[in-house]
Chain A
């Protein structure tokens, strides 16, 4: 049959010649290849000192965004929790009181918002489900801890501080679905 891919190889069981049976030319050829590798560039990245650049769409630790005036975007609608295939997200909602307008953008907000980083599979579906552009995945790595409870991240770790905004522009530009 005609090969469509042009990658078909016919296996031959021809008798080996004497030189091939000796194996020494083949072995020396193999050793020459490994010898050449001694002088090649190492591919190792010395991790804690040198960090490799992440892909723009890298999905790491989540961030709960604030708007330009420093108000939390999240309205505790629960769509992220519904979308989450790993059931890692949970939250309780509360009504915004008078005088808290500078803290929360809309009338409802999340008084408690937790992501279990041991359950999370970093698929990014919460980000896609969010109608308020409140939750994003970033290029930060979740560190390891000795206790399971330490992996449950509350609002103290998830909400970005007002004075240290987390840059998500790369992910917004590349990771977004076309409208």
Chain B
């Protein structure tokens, strides 16, 4: 119990710390891509910049517009922050750690519906933006909130379908199971990571994750140039800070989910040579390295691509992403059914193939088949 509490506190602190330093990383990456240096005045290499920004946020006037709904105006950023922080609970950060004769699971809660929990928490996250934007009583904030909700709903569908594809292959909704099934790097004659089994699914998930995080090129809810900040136009001080912070926490969590679902989480090539605590620590480091790589990719995309138009956003979401994800789901289902022997006319043949595979129902054991299924 106490160990769980410690893990919760450590996860909370680490998530907040990483989110704070992601703001610095974003500014640095942006600067380098634009041939600039970036913030370098606060401390060596500007390392104290997040502290300075946070301090500034705390000491600014906590302003509230006269016509804003008082309580909803305060609750909005709170919901955004809360939902972005609870998603980290089900992510397996590393293999089990052996400490003081006890096995410590580097995961706050191994719920058997982990990925469903993340999807649910992310959907609640849009309430923070909606309530905040609506309570501001400002037309730009309302525009931003409306765009945010419609964008979230549109892209959640494609995201959900691509997650279902992975769940079908794994046969489990638990994050720990999904990661464990991608053990090592090479298994049964094919790469074990899901990205090599489901590349289309990965691309769909990456794009929808960008949209869910409100990152460029899908940053319509808060586009500075059209909506002067969108849903947080009327916010200032730490309430604005909460919105911005929640966004970076979201980005961190979704990058962690991407690396867990598609890039093997804490699995790495040659992990069988290690065991025990060495494996646990190395695995955690590998997981964070993968996560940070994807965070860099997110920033890289932001500083490369311009923003989509609103109709283009809807066009991509409903007419491109969802059909692609659905067709991918269909093909995966057919391939799984084929490997399970559903198409064989002979009943005895079916049971024979089932016995040969020796895997629970719904688990795709033939990666080569899946690959051909994707290239269809």
Contacts and interface: CB of A to CB of B under 8 A. Distances in A.
B35 interface: yes
A37 interface: yes
A34 B34 CA distance: 8
Contact of A44 (B33, B37, B300): B37
A97 interface: no
Nearest to A26: B305
B32 interface: yes
Contact of B303 (A27, A34, A40, A44): A34
B300 A31 contact: yes
B295 to A, nearest CB: 15
Contacts, number: 32
Interface residues of B, number: 13
Contacts of B37: 42, 44, 46
B264 to A, nearest CB: 23
A42 B35 contact: yes
B300 A37 contact: no
A41 to B, nearest CB: 7
B305 A27 contact: yes
Nearest to A40: B35
A41 B37 CA distance: 9
A88 B337 CA distance: 87
A43 to B, nearest CB: 5
B35 A43 contact: yes
Contacts of B345: none
A63 B37 CA distance: 36
Nearest to A33: B304
Interface residues of A, number: 14
A31 B36 contact: no
A30 B32 contact: no
Nearest to A44: B37
A40 B305 CA distance: 20
Interface in B30-70: 31-37
B284 to A, nearest CB: 27
Most buried by B among A33, A34, A38, A46: A34
B35 A41 contact: yes
A39 B70 CA distance: 48
Contact of B32 (A31, A38, A46): A38
Contacts of A18: none
B301 interface: yes
A168 B304 CA distance: 46
Contacts of A146: none
Most buried by B among A30, A33, A41, A44: A44
Contacts of B34: 37
Interface of A: 27, 30-31, 33-35, 37-38, 40-44, 46
21 contacts: A27-B304, A30-B305, A31-B300, A31-B304, A33-B304, A34-B300, A34-B304, A35-B300, A37-B33, A37-B34, A37-B35, A38-B29, A38-B32, A38-B33, A41-B35, A42-B32, A42-B35, A42-B36, A42-B37, A43-B35, A43-B36
Closest 5 CB pairs of A and B: A44-B37, A34-B304, A34-B33, A38-B32, A30-B304
